[in-house]
Amino acid sequence: MGIINFKQKYALLRTVFILLAISFSNVVLAQIPRQFIEISVVPDQADWTYKIGQNVEFSISITQSGVPISVENARYVVMEEKMEPIREGKLNLKEGKATLDKFSMKDPGFLRCEVYATVYGKEYKGIGTAAFEPDKIKPTVKMPKDFEEFWEEGKKELSKIPMDYKMIHLPEKSSEHVDVYHVSFQNVRNSRIYGILSVPKAGGKYPAILSVPGAGIRPYSGEISKAMRGAITLQIGIHGIPVDMPTEVYNNLMSGALNGYWNFNNSDKDLYYYKRVYLGCVRAVDFLVSLSQFDGKNLAVQGGSQGGALAITTAALDSRIKYLAAVYPALSDLTGYLNGRAGGWPHVFGSQNIKYYNRPEVIETLAYYDVVNFARILKTPGFYTWGFNDETCPPTSYYSAYNEIKASKEIFVVPETGHWTYQEQGKKIEDWLFEKLSR
């Protein structure tokens, strides 16, 4: 094999990233590959956490293959996450290193330093985010007076609909230890929920895990490894379409009919897209508890991003869920942007969307779907993990929800992670779930 030049190496890395993204699209967690040029931005406290008024110093290094390199056109931006810059300018590096100091915050939140450098015609980015008393972040979203009544009415509507479940055995995915099925069951609005069910073949009763999806539209292959470990698993999609079609079908829907689905009907609390979704997750619980192989008591839900939101909302709506695991939950404190700070994904009131959606009826509708309000009524023990460098689901938003949870909760923070995780985080989640479910 000949020597790979930079362009070839970049193309190879890009291909690897795409393949990893496709591979991880069927699971909760994903880990990004390393870049050709690494930009490290690290706050000077070991846990990246500070007191209000305390100064933070960011240490910056730019390396290739672990060796510092000189870059003439590096620049930096420091801001409260998702807000306007506090300070920005050219970064003066010495042997690939620099420091930026004396930044602070007056209120609880997150202060982010972004560093950019162009090498071989490609711009690279590194970020580091300091947390200022994150456990004191308060939500901005208000709880509707009839919040619980609204969802009780929705569940009553759902309970009147026959489940009408269908199961298709998938021999190509099954093994001597696990049976795998493509399943569907009836949901509200004459729709269906589809998913992949994995059931241990050995006789006996088993706990169950519901896996709820991150944002997007994609096929699913099931949580077979957890079934091998001794749990019934159900991995669902939320869009009312089969989850075993060619990827091209989902890509076309994402670019076409379902593009921006998270904003569909967001001015009407009864017609908003996520009402069918939230109730569909409850119907998935109905299906799991109906299985003869279910042990009748040990049921968990897990998910990341949009799935992290769905894990919390499903557990809050359905007391049959005994445990939950959520990673960087989306749909949290959506009104943050209207109060001078970051709001949660899908950034309905962010700078790109505010001119379309900053209306009283949208604000009112989203309050019924904001994870913060479900966190306020949550009674289910949970395990949570995330980092401070998340640009998709700002940590300000999910701490707004997390701090409202009165139920038993455990947290594993890995500060440098963004909208991705280390394998160790995934292992901690799975071990925590199985330890709880085996009781």
Q: Which residues are catalytic?
A: 305, 390, 419
Q: Rounded to 5 degrees, what are φ and ψ at 167?
A: -130, 125
Contact between 195 and 236 (Cβ < 8 Å): yes
Spatial separation of the C-alpha atoms in residues 269 and 283, rounded to whole Å: 19
What SS3 class is residue 90? strand
Spatial separation of the C-alpha atoms in residues 310 and 387, rounded to whole Å: 19
Spatial separation of the C-alpha atoms in residues 329 and 308, rounded to whole Å: 4
Per-residue CA distances from 293 to 202, 290, 298, 311, 436 (Å):
10, 9, 12, 23, 18
CA dihedral 293, 299, 302, 308 (to 10 degrees): 140
DSSP readout, 23-56? HHTTSS---PPPPSEEEEEEESSTTSEE-TT--E
List, in sequence order, every residue forming a beta bridge with 78; answer none if it has no partner: 87, 113
Contact between 288 and 401 (Cβ < 8 Å): no
Contact between 342 and 397 (Cβ < 8 Å): yes
Residue whose C-alpha is closest to residue 25's, from 307, 219, 306: 219
Sign of CA pseudo-dihedral 75, 80, 83, 85: negative
Spatial separation of the C-alpha atoms in residues 10 and 120, rounded to whole Å: 11
